[in-house]
Each structure stands twice: as C-alpha cells, then as structure tokens.
Amino acid sequence: MDKQSVRDLVAGYSIETTVREASRIDRYQDLVPKGTSMYIPHVPGVAREDTVALAARLKKEDMDPVPHIVARRTESAAVLDDFLTRLVGEAGVILNDFLKRLVDGGVTRVLCVAGDISAPEGEFDSALQILERGFLEKHGIRKIGLAGHPEGHKQVPDDVLKDAIVRKNAYAQKTGADVRLVTQFSFVAEPVIAWETSIAPINTLPVYVGLPGLAKVSTLLKYALDCGVGPSLQAFSKHATQLSKLLTVSAPDEQLVALANHRHQHPQSPIKGLHFFPFGGLKRTSEWLAKLADGQFEFTSDGGLNVAS
C-alpha cells in the first residue's frame, strides 16, 4: 500500500459541527475545503431554530449542510409541523414541510437516525418509520445517510440491526435514492471490517466509516461511554490506563491506515469514505486531515502515521 491509498480514503471526508462550536468559528472555509459535508447533530438542549440557522450559514459559506433527523426526539407530527413552519422563514429548512423545504433552503442531504434515547418522545420509534412512510421521498430528499453499527447497539439486538440493513437497502432500491450507511465511531478498524464482511450478502449500500477526530484521550473515553461504543473501547482503554495518557491527544491514524489497506486489498469493498466526529476539535482535526490529503505524512513501523508538524 502506498500514500495514495490513504489520500484517496481521506478525500471528500465529512465531519460534524455543532451550534455551540459554530459561535467560535469566523469562517468555515478557513478550516475545511469548500463543499465539505458538515453534519449538524441534534444536541439535547439546543433549539431547532439554531440548527436551522447554522444550516443556512453553512450553505451561505459554500458548505454542504447535513442536518440530523432524529426519530425518537421528534415529539409529535403536530409539534413538528408547527415548529417547522416557523423555521421556513428563517432558513427554508423544514420533516413534512420541513423536509420539502430543506431543498428550497439548499439542504439536499440529511442523516436520518433513530436516536439514542430508550423511549421515543413522540410517534416515531425508528428512522425506518420515517423512510417507509415516505416523508423523505415525498418532499424531494434524495440524498440520505442512515446509521450503521459495526459494534452493535446497546439497546437493539443484532438480528434487528441486520433486518434494518435489509430494509434500508430495500428503500434505496425502491426509491432510487442516494443512500449511504454512516457508521458509529470506533477506535479500531477490525470490528468495522468484520461487520462489512458480515453484511455483504444483504448490503449494496456504500459505507462511510465513522472515526473520532483528534481529541484528548479523556474526552474520547467520555464520548465513547456516553455513546455505548463496544469492543473497540476495551482495546482503546488498555492504552489509556495511565493518567498521563488521558491528557494526550489521540489521532485515529492506525484505524485509518488499516481501513486504507483493507480497501487496497479489496477494491470491491463498499467502504467509500470517512466521517469524523471531532468532539470539539474541528480545527485540530481538519488541519490534520489537510496534511493527509496533501501527502504530508510517512508510515510508521507500528501501523500508524507520522504527520508533518
């Protein structure tokens, strides 16, 4: 494997940003390439109006805003319709009216997920309900990200997750929509590769692998515990047992190299790209990715990368 395999995998990455973080950023093009897909998570406590405003800002700055549609955090169709009607005047971003006018407001892609709460706040229990009831296609949303769980889900049995993959593929085939699987982040590549192999008989959708951005080990551990990341958390924790290591910044270079090598050895792999969870470290992560894209790195003997300072 050569440098180009890493550069190809990094090219066209997507990354998350939040309303809170946006207040500290003067201009997104100072951090990420023009046209980058910027995912906007639904953070509890943040008003949807602020998410709409951020989507509008990102579009104005020539980014590709990708709002999260969280099924279990959608209180009711009535509340949603009322809320989204008010949003139309601000950014043209509207589930029902909301999704139709996402197009008018420049948003052409959404990430539709069930959500991480055990009981739904309204009538939607899963992203599949939103898909199969036709909300997205009715309102012209043709680019859709859906969740993939290489290490399982703390609240959902594996057989249910596998059935969801089947139904997500069926939706894409039926509607012709541009559907991709975006995975939860993990700390090692092996579970992702094993999962990709296990779903191969039932999946034809492209896979975009979630990786953590550059952040302190203590921060990564906190988010991993909150998100229920599985076996790879155990492997990561073994390297973070010392207090001094908790304060160091960790980069996902070993995972990235392993995934690039896997794609090099298996050209037909559905893994097409990467999605980054920066955990507040957007600037640090984007600078690191820019150096990778430019080839400013060397391979290390332990399977990682030495990136130019």
DSSP state of 116: S
Note the pLDDT of residue 230.
66
Q: What is the per-residue DSSP string for 45-82?
A: TS-HHHHHHHHHHHHHTT-EEEEEEEGGG---HHHHHH
Could you say which residues of the chain have pLDDT below 70? 77-107, 138-140, 225-247
pLDDT the model gives residue 254: 92
Please identify which residue in the block is written with the tokens 């957007």. Answer: 282
Quickly tell me which residue has 């008018």 as its tokens: 104
* Residues 6+ positions from 75 with CB-CB distance below 8 Å: 121, 122
At residue 6, the pLDDT reads: 97
The model's pTM: 0.89
- Predicted local distance difference test score (pLDDT) of residue 234: 67
> What is residue 81's predicted lDDT score, i.e. its pLDDT?
47
φ and ψ at residue 14, rounded to 5 degrees: -115, 160
Alpha helices in 61-180 (DSSP H): 77-91, 97-104, 127-132, 135-138, 158-175
For 180-213, the pLDDT digits (tens) are 999 998 888 999 999 999 999 999 999 999 999 9
Pair of tokens at residue 111: 């990430």
Dist. CA 225–CA 76, nearest whole Å: 29
What's the pLDDT at 93? 44
Q: Are 188 and 213 in contact (CB under 8 A)?
A: no
Q: What is the pLDDT of residue 238?
A: 57
Cα separation, 190 vs 232, whole angstroms? 8
